[in-house]
Chains A and B, each alone.
Chain A
Amino acid sequence: MTVMTDTALQAAPATKARGYWATVGRRIVRDKVSMACAFILLLIFLAAIFAPYLHLADPYQGSMIRRLRAIGTPNYPLGTDELGRDMLARLIYGGRLSLLIGILPVILAFIIGTGLGVVAGYVGGKLNTAIMRTVDVFYAFPSVLLAIAISGALGAGIVNSIVSLTIVFVPQITRVAESVTTGVRNMDYVEAARASGANAFTIMRVHMLGNVLGSIFVYATGLISVSMILAAGLSFLGLGTKPPEPEWGLMLNTLRTAIYVNPWVAALPGVMIFAVSICFNLLSDGMRSAMDIRN
């Protein structure tokens, strides 16, 4: 026995163990749909970030003569809006704000909600009841209504709409985080870790976070699409960004008057919102299946 063990020990493994995330990464790269979505999102993000360097027309410069040109007009590949501003430039510049108020609330809510949910799930008992029942109060409202109510109370503006959307998403992420944490906490391997004498912090770090964060992250990615739509909705209602700022939701609102004159141009901001949200949705689905490593 000992001899065998010793030789076995000397033969150090030639193949280094692939880490969990490396395996997940490899699986997601093989998924064509996820990769296509990631590519589209990357294009939109890069365009939004590098908008000033793309030699676009001025997104604020309107003209009464060239209002509502159709898609494909020379110099205006995507036409012009109701004030004669270049749609291509406005869509790309609009992406900067739309993506910011679509994604930032989810990131903030992910941080806050995960913290609350993991603590509630791990500690349990009275603290769990206190956190979860408070969260339920917010959860009881439909998210659109809650976002409008908070935004309305805080007043219009980009910061306020980010705050209100964060408040909308915190309860949802908290609930998911709490239920995932409760599930993991009752697993035998957490019991075994406790039986080995590890303290709560070590168990959390080694055995729980890795198993909890993945699911919450996937859920949060799915929320980005909701957030984009809600943010657009707030702008549409005049509670988010204010004109003449280019923002997809606001553009959708102002172009709505042109829907009979030039429906294709009027639909463009909606197409952008749709494309980004569906890409985030499909990407989160892809991540979910890539992380379910057992298959």
Chain B
Amino acid sequence: MNDILEPIDKLEPLKDIGGVAQPLLQVVSLTKHFPVRGGLFAPSKTVRAVDDVSFAISKGETVGIVGESGCGKSTTARLLMHLMPRNSGDIIYDGRTVGRELSLRELRRGMQMVFQDSYASLNPRLTIEESIAFGPKVHGMADKAARLLARELLGKVGLRPETFANRYPHEVSGGQRQRVNIARALALSPRLVILDEAVSALDKSVEAQVLNLLVDLKREFGLTYLFISHDLNVVRYISDRVLVMYLGEVVELGPVDEVWDGPAHPYTRALLAAMPSSDPDNRTETPPITGDPPNPIDPPSGCRFHTRCPFAEAMCGEATPKLTEITVTGHQAACYMAIPGSGHSKAPAAGVQ
């Protein structure tokens, strides 16, 4: 197929170690607290941005993360990329714990990220080709080979290299820039790509094109995606499984169709109900939940959602419900109403399921 004179070098993807059965990424009790300095005499407080978050991503799947702004989606992404230090928790990439069996440098080869702001994530002083070639060069590729690879990848993301390679970021449109960012992420041959609101800033038609591109690239390169978005329609379209976050915690997790058809956590239900319908007979008349999310500096005790939950009972404010498996397909929810025999009046009886 490749009939040009010089074959295009690629960085070898990290070896598959555990086979299909082993998750590509395991996140165990990931926690990030930001200290908030109080005034001169006020005690310092902490924002619990990400609190004891655990999940796993299988090889080849797309996991979506949804939630209101400020719920810790992007912080989770940055923690996974090690762009900020975490307080505690382990990140295990294909069976190897980062920092112990897997070096940070190797992790960065295996995991890349696409940012929301397509303009801010490209250096205005570098041409598109130089931006894409930067990563491979950091990992030891010669300048010429890296530039050839950059041009190859530009073709893969649907941009003609001869037109775009020498342009500067301000000379191309937002959708094209986001394609460049995707090419840049792919330049290191990662197996996992984190897409942090990667299509949120694009207009609808361009968003659809980029989503389709992502689906194509996933098939071609055998990628695994962690897809962070506040757009529920987009998450449903692209994800296999979805993870719902509220105030730094995972409240529900499961196959996307199951969560959409039978949301087990009242927050997920409210979130889905808040989606505007395109059917005028089916308008949303009353807001599903009211009020703002509570201040994460001082999160409510027990279930963090109980202050806004229409079904809250006394027990909800006392102890935090654990994320519990509710179906055999891996649908989990952290709500007493979904946990059999929890004592909540709406909970199924123990043993029934």
Contacts and interface: CB of A to CB of B under 8 A. Distances in A.
A and B physically associate: yes
A196 B138 contact: yes
B104 to A, nearest CB: 7
A109 B106 CA distance: 41
A6 B3 contact: yes
A188 B180 CA distance: 14
Interface in A243-295: 293-294
Interface string A1-29: 11111101111110111001000000000
Contacts of A293: 124, 168, 170
Contacts of B78: 191
Report, as a range, how many residues of chain A touch the other chain.
Answer: 20 to 34
A197 B104 contact: yes
Interface in B28-67: none
Interface in B68-85: 78, 81, 83
A277 to B, nearest CB: 30
Contacts of A16: 166
B134 A198 contact: yes
B4 A211 contact: no
B225 interface: no
B112 interface: yes
Contacts of B124: 211, 293-294
A8 B162 contact: yes
Interface in A156-210: 187-189, 191-198, 202, 206-207, 210
Contacts of A2: 1-2
Interface in A110-152: none
A5 B138 contact: no
Contacts of A13: 162, 165-166
Given A188-B120, A197-B109, A197-B138, A20 B166 contact: no
B283 interface: no
B161 interface: yes
Contacts of A12: 162
A10 B4 CA distance: 7
B125 A20 contact: yes
Nearest to B165: A13
B109 A15 contact: no
B152 interface: yes
Interface in B327-345: none
A19 to B, nearest CB: 9
A89 B30 CA distance: 76
B2 A196 contact: no
Nearest to A186: B120
Contacts of B265: none
B160 A195 contact: no
A194 B111 CA distance: 12
Nearest to B136: A196
A17 B166 contact: yes
B120 A187 contact: yes
B270 interface: no
A195 B160 CA distance: 26
Contacts of A5: 151-152, 155-156, 161
A197 B152 contact: no
Nearest to B112: A195
A4 B3 CA distance: 11
Nearest to B135: A196
B14 to A, nearest CB: 13
B115 A191 contact: yes
Contacts of B108: 195-197
Contacts of B152: 5, 9
Interface in B134-169: 134-135, 138-139, 148, 151-152, 155-156, 160-162, 165-168
A118 to B, nearest CB: 16
B105 interface: yes
Interface in B112-133: 112-113, 115, 117, 120-127, 131
A199 B163 CA distance: 31
Contacts of A17: 127, 165-167
B188 interface: yes
B138 A198 contact: yes
B184 interface: yes
Nearest to B114: A192
A200 B89 CA distance: 25
A184 B78 CA distance: 18
10 contacts: A1-B155, A9-B152, A12-B162, A15-B166, A17-B166, A188-B120, A189-B131, A191-B83, A191-B115, A197-B105
Interface of A: 1-6, 8-13, 15-17, 20, 187-189, 191-198, 202, 206-207, 210-211, 293-294
Given A189-B122, A196-B134, A293-B170, 10 more contacts: A2-B1, A5-B161, A9-B148, A9-B152, A11-B162, A188-B120, A189-B131, A192-B113, A192-B184, A197-B138
